[in-house]
Amino acid sequence: MGSSQVSALVELGAWQGGMALFLSFQCHIRGISFATVDVNLEQFQCRQQCEDLGARLFAIDLLSASGPAALREVLEPMRRPLALFCDNGNKRQEWRSFLPLLAEWGFIAVHDWGHEFTQDYVTGPVEPVLLRECESVSSLTRFFRVCGDRC
């Protein structure tokens, strides 16, 4: 977030909210809009803290047939450039379904790199961002810029 011009961040898959709270705080101090999406917000343990930091929470079944359309409604009013943080139950499906929703020069990040998602699953018009930094600290997250035909 600090090295790019991201205006909004959407986390896909909130579970109990630990990462959402961290991202809410990071976005709050940087003036970035933040939203998190999960099918079951009943298990979300830090709702009030996230909302106090300006986060918006959405209950959407991202892996359902209506998931992409519902997420599109969340994304449309958000400022650009936009970043998606994929950390839901099926990262390959998230990548395939939601990468097309990002406008050129948006960003997509995938968590659990090397476990649930690898370079073999990276498709589409993207280029890695902060790759050397991620590898040097054995980060479980990888970042990509959506670059359209400019890759």
pLDDT tens string 6-30: 999 999 999 898 999 999 999 999 9
Q: What is the pLDDT along the chain (151 residues), one digit of tens a residue?
A: 555 689 999 999 998 989 999 999 999 999 999 999 999 988 999 999 999 999 999 999 999 999 999 999 999 999 999 999 999 989 999 999 999 988 767 999 999 999 999 999 999 999 999 999 999 999 999 999 999 777 7
Amino acid at 16: Q
Cβ–Cβ < 8 Å for 1, 30: yes
How close are the terminal C-alpha atoms of the chain, in Å?
A: 21
**Domain ranges, ordered by start, for the chain:** 8-150
Distances (CA, A) of 141 to 65, 112, 130: 26, 6, 10
For domain 8-150, the CATH superfamily is Vaccinia Virus protein VP39 (3.40.50.150)
Average pLDDT over the chain, rounded to an integer: 92
